[in-house]
Each structure stands twice: as C-alpha cells, then as structure tokens.
C-alpha cells in the first residue's frame, strides 16, 4: 500500500537540493535512452587512446599480456555500483587470435596488421579499430558480458545489416562475425568495414527470435517462452507480440518472483519501505492480457513490414563532405543492434505535436550550463519535429504506426502498469473504436487510491531528476571519468545536507538505509 502523504525522504532531498545550490557538473547529453534503471544505453563515440601494435605472426606469443585497458571500460564511471558496472563490461579475449581472424576476414595476411586500438565504448559493445598495411582499416565490435542474448544479438544484427545493404541503405558491410566465443579470439565479434566520415552528431525488428533486452535480461534468459521467430502469419503474429512480452514477465514472476523493495530507492518512502508483492504485478499483467488484443490497431496498413533504427541520433549517422554537391552526404547508419518494429514514444506527452519548438525567451540570462542544456533540448525537439513532419509527408504508413493509439506493457513497479490500465479503461472507446465493452473494470475508490500515489511518485521522480542534475550524472549514475571525483564529492555533500534537514533519528535512518547514491545489491532484481 502506498503512503498518501508526501515522502519524508523526498522532502529531505528537496531541502538538500535547496541548500546545495550549485551548478551541475557537465555530463554527456548523448548517453542514450535507458529502457530501465538497469539497462545499458549510453554511448561514447570519442576516440579512446588505448592501442597496441599487433605483432607479426612469428611474434604472436608476446601478446600474452596485452594492455588491460583493451578489456576494461575506460570511457566513464558510475557513482553507484561502479565496480559492478565495470565488471559487467570487462571482456577478456585473445588479442593475437582476434588479429588472425580479422586478417582472414578480408583475405589478408596476419603479418599485414600493424595496429589494434580501442575506438569507442557503447552501451552494448566495445569497438576496436584494426589498421593494416597500406592504411586499410576495419572495425571489430565485441559485446560486453552483460549484453544479452549474445548469440542472437550478433547474428540478428549481421542479418539486419546484410538485408539493409541489399535494399540500398548505407550500412556497414560485414566482413566476418562469430555469434559464439568458440573461435581463436575466445569471444563473440563482428568485423565491419571502416567508413571515412564524421558523426553527425539500439529494439530491433527481429524476424526472430526477438533479441530485445527485456526479454533476456538476468534470469529471464532461463525462461522457456515464445520470443519468435515470426514465421508464416506475419500480421497475426505481430498482433500478438505485445502479449508475448507480458506473458514472458508473468512467467518470470511465477518462477523467480519474490517480494522486493522498489529498485528506485527514492520511491520507497511512498511505499512505507515495505516490500511489494509480485502477485500484485501478476494481477495487473493478467488485466493487460485481457485488454491487449483490443488495443492493437485493426488497420491493415499498420501491419506493414518495417525495420526501425533503434537509436537514430546524430552520433549514429556518419556523413562525409561531397565536393560535387557542396554538402554533407550520409555514408553510413551505424548501431543496428536491438532494432525493432516501430513503437510510438509515449514517454513524451507531446510526441505527436506538430508545433515547432522554441528557445526560452530569456536564454541569455541563464548561466552557461543551463543555456547549454536548453539549446540541446531545443535541438533534439527540433529534430523530432522535422522527423514527424516529413514522415507524415513522405512516409504516411510509418506515420500511421507512430500515431496508433495502443498501450505498451510496463515494466518495474506495478503502479505504472495499473495507471496505464486505468487510463485505458477511461479512454476505451477512443482507443478501440467502441463496440465491445472493456473487459477490465476499476471502481472509483480503487482509481482514487491508485492515482493519488502516482502523483506523489511523480514528485519524487522530479526531485530525483533535479538532484541528478546537481550531482551531474546520467543514467545509472554514469559520469565521465574526468568529473567522477567532483560528482562523488557533490553526492556526499548532498547526503550530508539531507541528513541535516531530517527532523528525527528515524528519518535519518531511512535516508542512510535507502540513499539513492549508495552502492546496493542488485542480485534480487535480475
């Protein structure tokens, strides 16, 4: 049961925020879109200096102790569970074996390889640049240990890239790959061409099996549930896809479910620090399964086959200057892992808006950090505005997909799913076109008890977001290496301010026991 009173911990955080009035530490604005609190959706495309000379064939034995930075994540740190996040991304492999395989993939002699260097570290993979004699280069991508499902993630991306190239899209050519570690390198990998260009700045449609992270994360990989492939009746199977995700989560809860505190610690006070029962979430998943088939659009045009890029941001669009056209041209679209069929963005209530965004009127009055954030927000909204505008003009089928009024399944705490179900019942005729009555009914008192805590949790989330900006970290507590110590110091000062704002020993104990920026054991949440 949720506490209908304002969260004490949230109040202390709010007071700490007011006391701790400092500009935020700069943090990358291109950390990606986290799917959940434990997903791996941040990306750094800055070149990384770590490199090693690939030895000649007769000297491969000297690679027995390669630089450890090749195996470790060096692009940033996390202010929460830093050791765990790095352990999830440490991937050892046989460097000389990778060099051999790289040379063989392009029909070159291993002696031709002059250099292997770490190029970038993304949310799912570590990227290496392999340089051979004559300046010929290819890219090697190795998934992190935490990336799942490895076999299908690698095989599906290779199949996707091959298909997209066959229909004329500018994607990287695959030179070789292995979806298993049973090879000379001892790791899964993809070798791809290296294109010349600069960055203009993943839900994968899977014929199957579907490789999206929520279907495979943690113990979910052990479930014997239907993840595809889509075979004969494509349209009928696509219509059942949302149900498959809910059925997967239901199966997970029945097998592994246990009472848990909310993963987001700032929200625990609203639940009186009581563990939540998995049976409540199962009940709401059952409700969703009863209404899901009616929420899926019946227009045949909305079942049109389409592959959607999972993260089409400027850093994933490679461009090169063309003297002929006196402009930049797109030479490649990268990072197709976890591509999927189109899904509308319901996180932004104005996602369908056709109103051009505007910069704040008093932009010049803001400090440098705030001004930079407002400009970046304006840029991202402007890109979205033009995307929707020109999708409507040139790709009406895809626009119909984006504006289809369906409801996605929710993950995490059950309150969000229940709120979505209540909203679906209240807008049933609009969502379904009328006809059959809604198979799920909530009484007025249940609605009131659900919606009031939802407002409290939104307030807690807003306070947490403001504190994150002050500390200066991104999703999962990520912060660039150069700002790590400063961010940690700010977090400690904010903790001290929150304790000072507490009015009792009980409040102080709750803050210490559930402080959002302390390390925590995540084993029960996978």
pLDDT reported for residue 383: 77
Angle (CA) 408-412-417 rounded to 5° is 45
Tokens 């947490």 found at: 464
Summarised one tens digit per residue, pLDDT across range 163-191 is 888 878 888 899 999 999 999 999 999 99
Q: Which of 108, 107, 191, 182 is nearest to 142 (CA)?
A: 191
pLDDT at 110 over 50: yes
pLDDT at 99 over 90: yes
Q: For 146-224, where are the E strands, in sequence order?
A: 174-178, 189-193, 198-199
Q: Three-state secondary structure along 75-141?
A: CEEECCCHHHHHHHHCCCCCHHHHHHHHHHHCCCCHHHEEEEEEEEECCCEEEEEEEEHHHCEEEEE
- Which tops the pLDDT comparison, 38 or 364? 364
pLDDT at 354 over 70: no
Contact 91, 144 (CB under 8 A): yes
pLDDT reported for residue 20: 47
pLDDT reported for residue 216: 63
Q: What is the mean pLDDT of residues 267-281?
A: 87
Summarised one tens digit per residue, pLDDT across range 68-85 is 789 999 989 999 999 999
Task: Round the average pLDDT of the chain to a whole number and report it.
Answer: 75
Q: Which of 45-54, 352-361, 394-403, 421-430 has the highest mean pLDDT?
A: 421-430
pLDDT at 107 over 90: yes
pLDDT reported for residue 235: 45
Show Cβ contacts of residue 83 under 8 Å, excluding neighbours closer than 6 positions.
519
pLDDT reported for residue 176: 95
- Which tops the pLDDT comparison, 211 or 332? 332
237 vs 247: CA distance, rounded Å? 14
Q: What is the mean pLDDT of residues 21-36?
A: 38
Least confident of 21-25, 287-291, 478-482: 21-25
Instruction: Determine the number of helices (DSSP H) and then strands (DSSP E) in the chain.
Output: 13, 11
267-277 burial code (b ≥16 CB/10 A, e <16): bbbbbeeeebe
Domain edges within the chain: 8-29+211-306+404-521, 51-197
Q: Which of 147-156, 216-225, 243-252, 340-349 has the highest mean pLDDT?
A: 147-156
Q: Which of 198, 206, 255, 260 is nearest to 37 (CA)?
A: 260
Tokens 């390198």 found at: 185
* Beta pairing partners, 44: 121
pLDDT at 240 over 50: yes
Q: Tell me phi and psi for residue 119, to 5 degrees.
A: -95, -45
What CATH number is given for 51-197 in this structure?
Answer: 3.30.200.20
pLDDT at 500 over 70: yes
Report which secondary-structure segment, H or E, holds 235. helix 234-256
405 vs 478: CA distance, rounded Å? 34
Please state, for a pLDDT cut of 70, what percent of the chain lies above it: 68
pLDDT reported for residue 227: 64
Work out the end-to-end distance of the chain between its first and last CA atoms, rounded to an integer number of angstroms.
24
Q: What is the mean pLDDT of residues 372-378?
A: 81
């Amino acid at each position: 049961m949720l506490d209908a009173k304002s969260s004490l911990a949230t109040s202390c955080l709010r007071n700490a925020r007011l006391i701790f009035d400092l500009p935020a530490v700069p943090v990358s604005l291109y950390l990606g879109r986290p799917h959940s609190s434990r997903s791996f959706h941040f990306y750094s495309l800055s070149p990384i200096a770590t490199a090693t000379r690939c030895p000649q064939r007769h000297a491969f034995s000297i690679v027995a102790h390669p630089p450890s930075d090749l195996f470790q994540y060096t692009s940033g740190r996390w202010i929460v569970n830093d050791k765990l996040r790095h352990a999830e991304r440490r991937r050892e492999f046989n460097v000389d074996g990778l060099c051999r395989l790289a040379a063989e993939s392009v029909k070159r002699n291993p002696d031709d390889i002059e250099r292997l260097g770490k190029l970038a570290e993304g949310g799912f993979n570590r990227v290496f640049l392999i340089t051979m004699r004559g300046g010929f280069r290819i890219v090697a991508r190795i998934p992190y240990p935490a990336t799942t499902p490895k076999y299908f993630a690698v095989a599906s991306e290779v199949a996707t890239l091959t298909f997209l190239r066959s229909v004329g899209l500018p994607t990287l050519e695959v030179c070789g790959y292995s979806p298993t570690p049973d090879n000379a390198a001892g790791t899964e990998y993809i070798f791809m061409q290296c294109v010349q260009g600069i960055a203009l700045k993943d839900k994968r449609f899977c014929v199957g099996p579907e490789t999206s992270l929520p279907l495979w994360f943690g113990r979910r990989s052990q479930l014997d549930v239907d993840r595809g492939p889509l075979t004969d009746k494509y349209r009928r199977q696509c219509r059942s896809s949302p149900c498959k995700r809910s059925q997967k989560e239901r199966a997970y809860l029945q097998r592994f479910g246990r009472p848990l505190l909310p993963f987001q610690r700032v929200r625990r006070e609203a639940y009186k620090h009581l563990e939540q029962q998995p049976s409540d979430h199962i009940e709401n998943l059952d409700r969703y399964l009863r209404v899901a088939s009616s929420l899926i659009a019946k227009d045949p045009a909305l079942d049109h086959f389409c592959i959607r890029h999972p993260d089409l941001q400027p850093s994933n669009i490679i461009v090169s200057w063309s003297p002929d056209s006196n402009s930049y041209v797109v030479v490649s679209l990268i990072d197709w892992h976890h591509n999927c069929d189109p899904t509308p963005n319901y996180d932004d209530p104005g996602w369908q808006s056709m109103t051009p965004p505007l910069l704040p009127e008093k932009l010049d009055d803001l400090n440098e950090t705030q001004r930079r954030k407002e400009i970046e927000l304006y840029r991202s909204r402007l890109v979205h505005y033009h995307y929707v505008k020109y999708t409507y003009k040139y790709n009406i089928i895809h626009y119909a997909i984006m504006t289809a009024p369906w409801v996605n399944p929710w993950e995490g705490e059950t309150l969000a799913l229940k709120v979505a179900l209540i909203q679906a019942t209240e807008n049933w005729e609009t969502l379904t076109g009328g006809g059959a009555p809604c198979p799920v009914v909530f009484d007025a008192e249940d609605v009131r008890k659900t919606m009031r805590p939802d407002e409290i949790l939104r307030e807690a989330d807003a306070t947490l977001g403001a504190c994150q900006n002050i500390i200066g970290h991104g999703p999962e507590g990520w912060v660039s290496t150069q700002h790590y110590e400063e961010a940690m110091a700010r977090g400690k000062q904010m903790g001290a301010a929150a304790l000072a704002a507490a009015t009792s020993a009980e409040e102080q104990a709750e803050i210490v026991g559930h402080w959002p920026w302390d390390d925590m054991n995540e084993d029960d949440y996978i």
